[in-house]
């Protein structure tokens, strides 16, 4: 589904002698951003890949923070995400000592902002083999505009997930698995997502059923009446199926993922924005058109001219800056993330995600459909 790092990112050739530090684009909103790692165990569910163990998850949460700046700046990605990028780039010929990730723009466990009401929740599901840190640029931006973004590492599908006791669980699923195999992963992914939403509900109610504590004030900031979801690749599939199975999720965004599972034929009765790559293989996938035919909710299918599958992750930032530094060739860059300017691509994604969810949750005076129409940009083309 989502490759660890697109094959062919680098070609044989000179590597810069000095490590290139990759800079994460700053969020555009007014709020400082906090970040926490949430360790959860579903005591009612066995792990399908390790049946003797309960299902254990690491969840990454970005949120509007206090402006005290008392907490340390968080890394861009947790250890598993850094391992994923290092491995993927090395497989493509990029020397590990030729690059490094800069810091994030979030502060670890900073107290949450108070005094301005509760914040909508946006669940996030990564693509197969990907970890939560790979959508940091999108997540930080949404948090800086007043959203709580809750991203789920799907254990044994994410490349590597490190837990508080130090042990790490790696992916056991082939990245190039068939659609039938991918569809078989959805029940676990959806169950993960619904469990996390249950835990957020328990935390907001200060229930003893909450599995773990959240940073100061964050539990009181959660608006469980406004829940959306977005995901890339198989995470987009997970978004659609979670909406199908759980009415608490009011709206979704599928970032270049197929439509798999019962939702493909049953459809949805709530809004779904789909942002696809210019050459997306899912255009021809049988799940897309049946979904639109049976959907009674708002349908907003768009594609980004010049984008590729991994353009919807932080990989576009990483590969673009490595190309600028001469670590990867222009042809390899375009193969991995497309010819579109990476900064422009990220700006488009950030603006569409924010405007769409603002419209869905009544934070603007326009409907989602009118919002997307008014946002029209030359690179954004309708698909269906």
Virtual torsion, Cα 105, 111, 117, 122, nearest 10 deg = 50
pLDDT tens readout for residues 250-272: 999 999 999 999 998 899 999 99
Task: Give residue 290's pLDDT.
Answer: 67
Q: Is the pLDDT of residue 301 over 50?
A: yes
Task: Give residue 12's pLDDT.
Answer: 38
pLDDT tens readout for residues 60-82: 999 999 987 889 999 999 888 88
Q: Is the pLDDT of residue 9 over 90?
A: no
Task: Give residue 6's pLDDT.
Answer: 42
pLDDT band of residue 282 (cuts 50, 70, 90) is confident
pTM for the whole structure? 0.93
Q: Is the pLDDT of residue 11 over 60?
A: no
Range name among 40-54, 215-229, 283-297, 312-326 with the lowest pLDDT average: 283-297
Q: Is the pLDDT of residue 2 over 70?
A: no
Task: Give residue 94's pLDDT.
Answer: 86
Task: Give residue 143's pLDDT.
Answer: 98
pLDDT band of residue 287 (cuts 50, 70, 90) is low
Task: Give residue 15's pLDDT.
Answer: 44
Range name among 237-241, 301-305, 347-351 with the lowest pLDDT average: 301-305
Q: Is the pLDDT of residue 243 over 90?
A: yes
Range name among 52-66, 292-306, 344-358 with the lowest pLDDT average: 292-306
Between 288 and 203, the higher pLDDT residue: 203
Task: Give residue 5's pLDDT.
Answer: 44
- Domains of the chain from N-terminus onward: 20-382 (3.40.50.1820)
Q: What rounded mean pLDDT belongs to the chain?
A: 90
């Amino acid at each position: 589904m989502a490759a660890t790092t697109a094959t062919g990112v680098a070609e044989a050739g000179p590597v810069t002698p000095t490590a290139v530090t990759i800079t994460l684009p700053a969020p555009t909103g007014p709020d400082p951003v906090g970040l926490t790692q949430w360790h959860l165990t579903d005591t009612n569910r066995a792990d399908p890949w390790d049946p003797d163990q309960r299902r254990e998850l690491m969840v990454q949460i970005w949120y509007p923070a206090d402006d005290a700046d008392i907490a340390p700046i968080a890394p861009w990605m947790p250890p598993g995400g850094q391992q994923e990028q290092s491995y993927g780039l090395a497989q493509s010929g990029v020397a590990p000592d030729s690059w490094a990730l800069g810091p994030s723009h979030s502060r670890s466990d900073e107290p949450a902002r108070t005094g301005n009401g509760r914040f909508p929740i946006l669940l996030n599901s990564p693509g197969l083999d990907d970890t939560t840190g790979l959508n940091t640029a999108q997540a930080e931006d949404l948090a800086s505009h007043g959203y709580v973004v809750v991203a789920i590492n799907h254990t044994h599908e994410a490349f590597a997930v490190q837990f508080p006791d130090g042990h790490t669980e790696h992916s056991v699923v082939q990245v190039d698995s068939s659609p039938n195999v991918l569809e078989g992963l959805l029940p676990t992914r959806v169950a993960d997502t619904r469990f996390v939403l249950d835990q957020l509900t328990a935390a907001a109610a200060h229930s003893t059923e909450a599995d773990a504590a959240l940073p100061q004030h964050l539990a009181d900031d959660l608006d469980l009446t406004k829940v959306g979801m977005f995901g890339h690749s198989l995470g987009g599939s997970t978004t659609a199926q979670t909406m199908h199975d759980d009415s608490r999720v009011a709206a979704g965004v599928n970032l270049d993922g197929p439509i798999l599972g019962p939702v493909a034929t049953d459809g949805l009765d709530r809004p779904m924005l789909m942002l696809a790559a210019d050459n997306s293989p899912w255009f021809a996938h049988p799940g897309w058109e049946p979904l639109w035919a049976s959907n009674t909710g708002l349908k907003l299918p768009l594609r980004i001219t010049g984008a590729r599958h991994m353009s919807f992750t932080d990989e576009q930032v990483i590969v673009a800056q490595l190309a600028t530094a001469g670590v990867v060739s222009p042809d390899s860059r375009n193969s991995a993330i497309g010819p579109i300017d990476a900064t422009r691509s990220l700006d488009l994604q950030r603006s569409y995600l924010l405007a769409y969810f603002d419209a869905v949750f009544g934070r603007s005076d326009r409907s989602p459909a009118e919002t997307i129409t008014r946002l029209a940009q030359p690179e954004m083309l309708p698909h269906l």
